[in-house]
């Protein structure tokens, strides 16, 4: 029997947990993201919700909460601190992602529009989601406008896509 297999599975599991934890610490929330807030033993304070166009949401006892630009951990701390203010003695709060906001793709693809983001998505995969390239498309001239940026940058098939990005597939020469 292979005794290294359980060790490898444990190592893989820990690596995946670290990757998810790192995403919690680096991903910045924005309009259209759907999150889940859970407060242990407080079902009336536990809910899934989508951030509005300004990146905010209404939450019991706290009113309007701004989540735009914050990480999940920062939002968790803000909600916990808010609930500590004469509402709960020792709240146990968890905030997690349900769905990320869309990315957009246009230009010379068969089906332009907004598509659901998934971590690790590349331009090549985004093109596939959009039905592939048109017959007039360049197979290598792409631009990507990052959310919050004013200028597009050149991209290639391996360029990573992020929520809120806009990809433009340029026309190729005949």
Q: What is the DSSP letter of 27?
A: P
pLDDT at 24: 56
Reported confidence tier of residue 6, pLDDT bands at 50, 70, 90? low
Please tell me the predicted confidence (pLDDT) of residue 161. Answer: 96
Per cent of the chain over pLDDT 90 is: 77
What is the per-residue pLDDT for 3? 56
Q: Are residues 90 and 107 in the same domain?
A: no
Q: Which one, of 8, 54, 49, 13, lies nearest residue 31 by Cα?
A: 54
In angstroms, the CA 14 to CA 5 distance is: 14
Residue 50 clears pLDDT 60, i.e. is over it? yes
For strands 166-171 and 56-59, give the pairing. unpaired
pLDDT score recorded for residue 169: 96
Confidence of residue 58 (pLDDT cuts 50, 70, 90): very high
Q: How many domains does the structure of the chain reveal?
A: 2
Neighbours of 101 (CB within 10 A): 21
Q: Is the pLDDT of residue 160 over 60?
A: yes
If asked whether residues 13 and 53 sit together in one domain, one would say yes
For range 30-38, the mean pLDDT: 96
- Report which of 124, 121, 168 is spatially closest to residue 143, judged by C-alpha positions: 168
DSSP three-state, residue 23: helix
Instruction: Tell me the β-bridge partners of 1.
Output: none
pTM score, two decimals?
Answer: 0.75
* CATH number of the domain that residue 154 is part of: 3.10.560.10
The band of 21, judged by pLDDT with boundaries at 50, 70 and 90, is very low
**146, pLDDT greater than 80:** yes
Integer Rg of the chain from CA: 20
- Is the domain of 72 the same as that of 9? yes
Chosen domain end from 44, 79, 99: 99
Indicate the helix (H) or strand (E) that contains 170.
strand 166-171
């Amino acid at each position: 029997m292979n005794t290294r297999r359980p060790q490898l599975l444990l190592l893989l599991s820990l690596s995946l947990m670290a990757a998810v934890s790192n995403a919690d610490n680096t991903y910045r929330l924005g309009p259209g993201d759907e999150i889940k807030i859970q407060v242990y033993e407080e079902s009336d304070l536990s809910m899934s919700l989508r951030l509005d166009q300004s990146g905010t949401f209404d939450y019991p006892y706290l009113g309007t909460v701004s989540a735009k630009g914050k990480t999940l951990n920062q939002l968790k701390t803000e909600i916990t601190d808010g609930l500590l203010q004469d509402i709960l003695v020792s709240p146990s709060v968890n905030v997690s992602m349900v769905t990320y906001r869309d990315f957009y793709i246009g230009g010379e693809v068969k089906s332009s529009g907004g598509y659901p983001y998934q971590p690790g998505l590349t331009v090549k995969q985004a093109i596939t989601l959009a039905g592939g390239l048109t017959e007039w498309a360049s197979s290598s001239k792409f631009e990507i406008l990052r959310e919050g940026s004013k200028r597009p940058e050149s991209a290639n098939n391996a360029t990573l896509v992020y929520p809120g990005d806009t990809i433009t597939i340029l026309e190729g020469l005949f």
